[in-house]
Amino acid sequence: MDKTTLKQLIDQAAGRQAADMVIKNAKVVDVYNGRIIEGTLAIGNGRFLGISDDYLAPKVIDARGQYVVPGLIDPHIHIESANVSPAVFGSLVTPHGTTTILADPHEIVNVAGMRGLEYMVASAKKTALDIKYTMPSCVPAANPTLETSGAVITAAEIQDSYDRNLTYGLAEFMNYPGVVNADDGVLDELLVSLNANKLIDGHSPALKEQGLNAYAAAGIRNDHECTQVDEMLDRISRGMYVYLRYGTVSKNMPTLLKGVTPQNARFCCLCGDDLQSVTLRETGHLDESIRVAIANGIAPIMAIQMATINTAQCTGLADRGGIAPGLKADFLLVDDLEQFSVNQTFIDGQKVAASGEYLLTTEDSVTGFDDLLQTVHLETFTADQLKLNLTSNKAHVIGLQSISRTQNLVLPVAHTADGDFQYHPDEDIAKVAVVERHHLTGNVGVGLLNGFGIKNGAIATSIGHDSHNLVVVGTNDTDMVVAIEALKESQGGGVAVQDGQVIATLPFVIGGLMSNEPIDTLIGHQKAFNAICHDKLHVTAHFDPIMKLGAMPLDVIPNLRITDKGLVDVTKFEIIDINA
């Protein structure tokens, strides 16, 4: 801000100069005192000026008793989980009142490194949504001996992202054992961010006692991986903010709300983490989180605070989060705080969404980033690469749980004379494999999966958190091979196969993660794909097949996972034999 702009802001706030716009008959939500102020709200040069009926302006909006709420801020979300570009993502969430997000692009960065980050930054400039990126901290997610990623991020790349003003802080530090053990490379990454006074996001599932003390001592001040109240309270007592997650699959917020009190609520923020496009379009974003929080007994203004001022203070966004003189004029209009249906959204004082629709033109292009359209690199795939060597009557099997964590089950399994797995329709155990797709290594990790429900055919996807190798599950090797080959041909997305034929596809050509289709076309394809997986292949009814399958390689969430290197015991961070 220059001196002329500052003087104008002061003159407008003092009433010596007319405001640009006033909103009369407004009920302003005061998130600082937890109250409602009725009056006229003035805005000038994209900033709030104050509340007073004495303000004059050439543009007058009559709120007619609507509530004026600060713009909603999501402190932790992965745009790629919606399978759309940042530009399209902005058009999805602004109608729901979201005006700022802190996005972790570690999906595309795992695939394409700094090129992926540069694309995300370029696309973010094409939307009114204020997108601030945090630099992926763990690429690959944990120990590189456990999986093969498309790129490797070190302290040098993190520093480069700060020097070029590409990122706002350091994204979730998933390698929590590396922090607790003070690994040398981890210390380098942390120091780059600490010395630059940057935000460092957390990720510490099940960490407690001295381990959690060490994690917090490293300067990590938030966590979104709490699933139980005691985990939340442990972190708050250590001065950490807790992000209450309400995503498409992981919905920990209702459980955690049981531990929220008037005393600790200021350390609680709402976040989406991973949300699909269909969820954002049809259910909502933070507006839905606010509604759910209220339905679970949280007072409306407290729920709003958890999506505005709490988040702004946690993340150091001092210029937003409330309605106060000098802050960014990001706000929304709602008729009723409990129903919290967003009528209009404003960013920097400009209306960007109304009646559920984004009002600006959405430009979605990958021009200049054509290399991101060719990211599935694979030699001819054969059934021999899927063979198991079972030497015992029992095996370590990945057991699916309802949310995000898995179990390490030891189950009896049938196998052929040469040791390969033999599928039985009466048992909910299928073969699962992760196929390396970045460097032509030929790596294939093969294991067994319980609880997915598939009874025939195969499903494959290029979404495999976080390194995003190809993941395939099936009842027979032939269909699994067809699915992998189809993904190679399409350069990413999702594929369903039955009796050797592809019966459904999802095209995600940008990095194998994001679609370049119009949003309504994408959502239609996702619904059709899911219906086929459930109806024809009998995938467990409440599962999103791509999201559930894509989480199988996530070797930083307990307990048993699979990567291109094999089965990973996340409690020990080591590869284990499938034979039990």
pLDDT in tens, 302-325: 999 999 999 999 999 999 999 999
Region 226-248 average pLDDT: 97
pLDDT given for residue 415 in this prediction: 79
pLDDT band of 404, cuts 50, 70, 90: low
Q: Report the chain's mean pLDDT, rounded to a whole number.
A: 96
pLDDT of residue 356: 97
Distances (CA, A) of 551 to 169, 444, 465: 25, 17, 6
**Structural domains of the chain in order of their starting residue, each with its CATH number:** 3-68 (2.30.40.10), 71-330 (3.20.20.140), 371-576 (no CATH)
pLDDT digit string (tens) for 425-439?
Answer: 889 999 999 999 999
Q: For position 214, what pLDDT does the model report?
A: 98
CB 49 within 8 A of CB 86: no
> Taking residues 413-421, what's their average pLDDT?
86
User: 41-58: per-residue pLDDT in tens?
Assistant: 999 999 999 999 999 999
In order of 44, 69, 262, the CA distances from 37 in angstroms are 20, 11, 21
What pLDDT is stored for residue 249 in this prediction?
84
Query: 48, exposed or middle or buried, with CB in 10 Å at 0-12, 13-18, 19+?
Result: buried
Report residue 343's pLDDT band, with 50, 70 and 90 as the boundaries: very high
Tokens matching residue 525: 């394809």
Helix, strand or coil for residue 520? helix
Strands 35-44 and 47-51: antiparallel
Q: What is the DSSP string of 395-459?
A: EEEEEE-SSS-EEEEEEE--B-TTS-B---TTS-EEEEEEE--SS----EEEEEEES----SSEE
pLDDT band (50, 70, 90) for residue 403: low
Comparing 65-79, 359-373, 427-441, which segment has the lowest mean pLDDT?
A: 359-373
Reported confidence tier of residue 485, pLDDT bands at 50, 70, 90: very high
Tally of helices (H runs) and strands (E runs) in the chain: 17, 28
Question: pLDDT band at 417, cuts 50/70/90?
Answer: confident
Residue bearing the bigger pLDDT, 403 or 531: 531
Cis peptide bond upstream of 530, omega within 30: no
Among 554, 101, 148, which Cα is nearest to 347's? 101
Six-digit token string for 116: 């992926």
Taking only the tens place, the pLDDT of each residue in 347-360 is: 999 999 999 999 99
pLDDT in the model for residue 401: 72
- Sign of torsion, CA 387 389 393 398? negative
Q: Is the pLDDT of residue 402 over 90?
A: no
Mean pLDDT confidence for 489-497: 98
d(CA 94, CA 220): 29
